[in-house]
Structures are given as C-alpha cells and as structure tokens.
Structure 1
C-alpha cells in the first residue's frame, strides 16, 4: 500500500504543510501516525480530493518475434521439423503462433515464431536441436 508523508501531500495538492496537518488533526484527511509523523494512504488521499485512485499497475508482459532461417533443408527434413515443432505445441495453452514458409526450389525454410519469451525460447531450442541433426 502506497503512503505519503504530510510534506508530500502538501506538495501534490499545492497546500502548506500546516494546512495538511490541520486536515489530518480535524479528521477530514485520514492518516496513520508513525512515531512523530503522519502517513496518508493513496486511497485516502484520492477520496479526500475526490479523484479516483489510480488503477493498479498492470503486470509487465513481453513478447518476442523471431524468424529462423534454415538453408539447404530437404522437403523430408522440413516435414520432420514442422511435425515435431507443431506436436510440441499440441494439447496445451501456449499463446504462440508458429508458421513455416518453404521455398522448395532453393531448399530454403523460414520459421516465424510469435509469442511469450519463455514459450518462444522453448520452441527455438526444439528447432535448434532438430536442424542440427
């Protein structure tokens, strides 16, 4: 729970420190006394000013976009890689998108991986193991 000192509240509201202390002593602004100082909760300050309390911060979320390029891969090896990667994703929620683009004339494969960091890293490790064979 975020708390402010009387001095911080005075600065935020553009008031004198003595005015804020008077509001606290009069009971108009709820506060907790810790030692010789008052602490005002963020929610109490929001209620006092009539402003809504800030919404809780959303947890951070990061995603990755990766393109893996594999040259000199035969069609049979493409089928094996795509089957193994797709099979590793089956049956569990993962939030990943994996696409395969193959140019048969040049034996050129691109694998596009979109999703969360850890899930993408797992797919990239699987791809690495399969194309090294």
Structure 2
C-alpha cells in the first residue's frame, strides 16, 4: 500500500492513540477519511494537518491546477454508479479552505466504460487518484 494513505491502525500508531479513538474522530468529522470497503483510509497530508505537523512535501505554486482524465474500461452500470458516488464523497470530504476541486464522471453504457475528469491542485488530484486506485483494487 502507498505511504500517502494510511489505515486507522497506522494512524492510531502515528498519533499514539487507540484505533477506536481514531474511528471516533472520523465519525465525528474531526478527521477526514474515505471509506474503502469496510475500512477507512486517511490521506497522510490530512493526518499531518490533524496532528499539526508541517508537511514535508512542498506544495505547488499557488494557483497551479492539474487536469486529469481517467478512462476505466469494462465497467457495469452499478460499478460506475458506486465509483461516481465514492469519488463525489471523497471530493466533498475535503477540509474547508482548500482550493476548489472540480470532478466530473461520465458513463458510456454501449462501450461499458467510464471517464473521470478531475481539475484541482496537483497534490489533490494525486490524492483523489490514489483513492480511486485503492477502490479499483477491490473490483472483481
């Protein structure tokens, strides 16, 4: 698994807390996390911000935006709807004060393919793509 996304257990270890405490923070909305299957994944940058740790990654210059188009082949209607819902939830679960993020999904039933368009800061695009990759790893 990537070092940019951590599990609840890893977050608890890094914060020196019990995993149930981290889960409570997530459920209370104090710590942003994305649900993947039956578990949560927390972006390392959000965990660092929650803990008050300065990020070691340098952010791109202010105003820099990245556009990414992802093509997901061989996907059924139900899977496309689940992915679109997951991505919208991940995009809206961002902390207040972050730069705007634009997310658009489109499904072509004849080609059985889905396209995802993300426009945001490079780090936010990377974070959303990583969450998409983790979600796609659960695809059967």
TM-score under structure 1 length normalisation:
0.52
* Correspondence for 1:68: 70
CA distance in 2, matches of 1:62, 1:119: 11
Q: 1:83 to 1:60 in 2, by over 3 A?
A: closer
Q: Deviation of residue 106 (structure 1)?
A: 1.2
Which residues of 2 match residues 27-106 of structure 1 at below 5 A?
60-92=62-94, 93=96, 94=98, 95-106=100-111
Q: Deviation of residue 117 (structure 1)?
A: 0.9
Cα deviation per residue 1:28-79 (whole Å; 9 max; x = unaligned)? Answer: xxxxxxxxxxxxxxxxxxxxxxxxxxxxxxx643211100000001111111
Q: Deviation of residue 91 (structure 1)?
A: 4.6
Higher relative contact order (CA 8 A, sep 6+): 2
Q: 1:75 to 1:64 in 2, by over 3 A?
A: same
Out of 127, 132, 135, the position equivalent to 1:130 is 135
Alignment gaps of 5+ in structure 1? 1-58
TM-score under structure 2 length normalisation:
0.49
CA distance in 1, matches of 2:62, 2:136: 33
Alignment gaps of 5+ in structure 2? 1-60
Q: Secondary structure at the match of 2:117?
A: strand
Following TM superposition, where does structure 1 have runs of at least 4 consecutive aligned residues deviating by more than 4 angstroms?
Answer: none
